[in-house]
A and B are shown apart, each in its own frame.
Chain A
């Protein structure tokens, strides 16, 4: 039983954590792709920026001497999300809107988004240096233990507080997004525009407004994802730069332009990464008695070595592109 608990703590929880972060990021990327038809590379650095905005706000609140029962970074998250959404809107106004107005090709916008990536990253490093920061310098990172004696195990199921909060944030965002897209007038307009922008415009949908709302949603979700990631690990300038590619992979695997696909793709990749580097010997050892004599369990039985963990996402991406280029759910085609 202890082995199963170990499996739960090390694979299910960490896979779900990774999946949540990927899903939150991939939703933003996929929405932007659906509405604006370009791959927004700066999304990873918008996540990092969101993390730093929250960090600064949390620092201000702590300096003011206000303490909360929850992590301060989590409490100030809504404010940070609003700020990040406004910044996303500003970035669009300054860098993407002029290009769109000129009728530039999506590829040009993609390259512009790389320019924005570099600028955000450069600014973050200029202001904060290259060091790492933690949200838990002044307050403890609480551990949540669930006793499992009724299962016959001695180890508890253990999760940190940020993990639980991350699950809650993801659940709330996904449900809210679902209701927004299916019930509200604006959400329906967004889906219509993702489907066919010209038809949406002729039927009287305010496309400018839809674009603005897309940036607001994407910016705030990026901020949430970045902050939750930073709460889980540490905050550093290249926090999300390294995971923007797996996030893209998640969006493509799920079908670009398809919000539910992005969530599914995010969890798929998150679990695939953790399962593939998990050492299966741990699970097999207690039942080693049922194997014949000549089978000896090797010390390490993971599918890929740990160093290649990030490559798993890309291998899945390449396979998806080869076998089913539209993604699990049919993505927007353009």
Chain B
């Protein structure tokens, strides 16, 4: 307890120092993003810290959340709803449903006495037929929508609903992934989740009729007043940015605190105890009558919901859905570093790690630029010439710093700065 108070006090001082060095608008932006990442790190903490599930597909859930908030909150595209697009999409959806029924039917053939190789052949044929059926409907629909209306557009609802939908959509995706992958061993699970995240990324990038792909969708509305709205209300431009971002921050903070309190209660309760039992020895837990696979699926879905919401917040905040901006380094590995450094299994540790690593990630850019300039001046002074392209090179420094942080943390503080507190009842 004392340790966490001390560390959080240190973090507070660090934020103040960053604020003094970079100014209020930058720091308020940093805080909002750090809080969203804290939510994502909490999601990973549930999966890895509570449940011992190795999820390397965080990127996919963040993207799903981002897409969901765009879809719900972006203004309605009248050109699409007035065209034949909805009808064609409806037919594609029907084809999808029919294909799904076909595959499910083929899988159930064993109930009619058709088993073995015959059933396998039927399943493969059903998959192929369903794929052709779906492609035959979706391809013309996609081409039509892209040529007439651009893309489907949004629903024009409140962004907070978009966040909720981000959670729901991420839960659905997580359910399917969990059904496929959770029986796998740790390393297989890691690679399978990465693979699925890459598939999701390819889908969101290339389904231009739905997401506009690389053309990006912007501006996505804010749940709280925008700086421009504040300016019309009489704020001056510089302070309007700070106040608008603080408003957004307050909303994110409310969600974060709510989630933190609920998670803390769940962790201490019978549910959390059971989860830890499954994590530490799933064979023993299974023999005590716990439904190991079912519980793991539950925890995988729950963690992914938080990642989806966090991803939705990030897109809402930056106001742009750009599939190209999603990279495994920024969105999967960064979150892992946050959790490892903060302390897996400890919710406060996850939040602490998220804020600390986000500051390190953002600040290492300008710090390394400063370092480079010093070194460059020095090499110039002794006659070796200046270092070329300092700005582009120093941006890359943070990748190195991230790698260094994670290897050092694993070696010298493998349980994180705020390790899991194991309470023993006597």
Residues in chain A within 8 A of chain B (CB atoms): 33, 38-39, 95, 98-99, 102, 104, 106-108, 110-112, 114-123, 125-126, 129-130, 245, 248-249, 252, 256, 305, 307-308, 310-311, 313-315, 317-318, 321-322, 325, 334
Contact = CB atoms under 8 A, between A and B. Distances in A.
Interface stretch (B111-119, B165-173, B186-194, B246-254): B186-194
Given A99-B411, A112-B407, A129-B393, A39 B205 contact: no
Contact of A317 (B192, B206, B392, B404): B192
B188 A115 contact: no
Interface string B192-226: 10111011001001100000000000000000000
A246 to B, nearest CB: 9
Contacts of B389: 129
A126 B187 contact: no
Contact of A311 (B180, B198, B399, B407): B198
B407 A310 contact: no
A11 B181 CA distance: 32
B187 A130 contact: no
B340 interface: yes
B6 to A, nearest CB: 26
A118 B337 CA distance: 11
Contact of A129 (B54, B392, B400, B402): B392
Nearest to B328: A241
Interface of A is mostly: helix
A125 B186 contact: no
Contacts of B19: none
Interface in B326-350: 329, 333, 336, 340
Given A114-B336, A116-B403, A118-B399, 20 more contacts: A107-B187, A110-B186, A116-B407, A117-B403, A118-B400, A118-B402, A120-B403, A121-B329, A130-B392, A130-B396, A256-B187, A307-B205, A308-B202, A310-B202, A314-B195, A318-B181, A318-B195, A318-B196, A322-B180, A325-B188
B414 A115 contact: no
Contacts of A245: 191, 194-195, 198
Contacts of B190: 39, 110
Interface of B: 54, 180-181, 184-188, 190-192, 194-196, 198-199, 202, 205-206, 329, 333, 336, 340, 389, 392-393, 396-407, 410-411, 414
Contact of A115 (B392, B393, B398, B407): B407
A120 B206 CA distance: 30
A118 B54 contact: no
A106 B54 CA distance: 12
A305 to B, nearest CB: 7
B338 to A, nearest CB: 12
A22 B396 CA distance: 27
14 contacts: A106-B187, A110-B190, A111-B340, A112-B406, A112-B410, A116-B407, A118-B403, A121-B403, A129-B393, A245-B198, A252-B191, A311-B199, A318-B196, A325-B188
Contacts of B195: 245, 249, 313-314, 317-318
Contacts of A39: 187, 190-191
Contacts of B199: 311, 314-315
Contacts of A120: 403
Nearest to A317: B195
Contacts of B405: 115
Contacts of A121: 329, 399-400, 403
Given A39-B190, A129-B392, A249-B191, A111 B399 contact: no
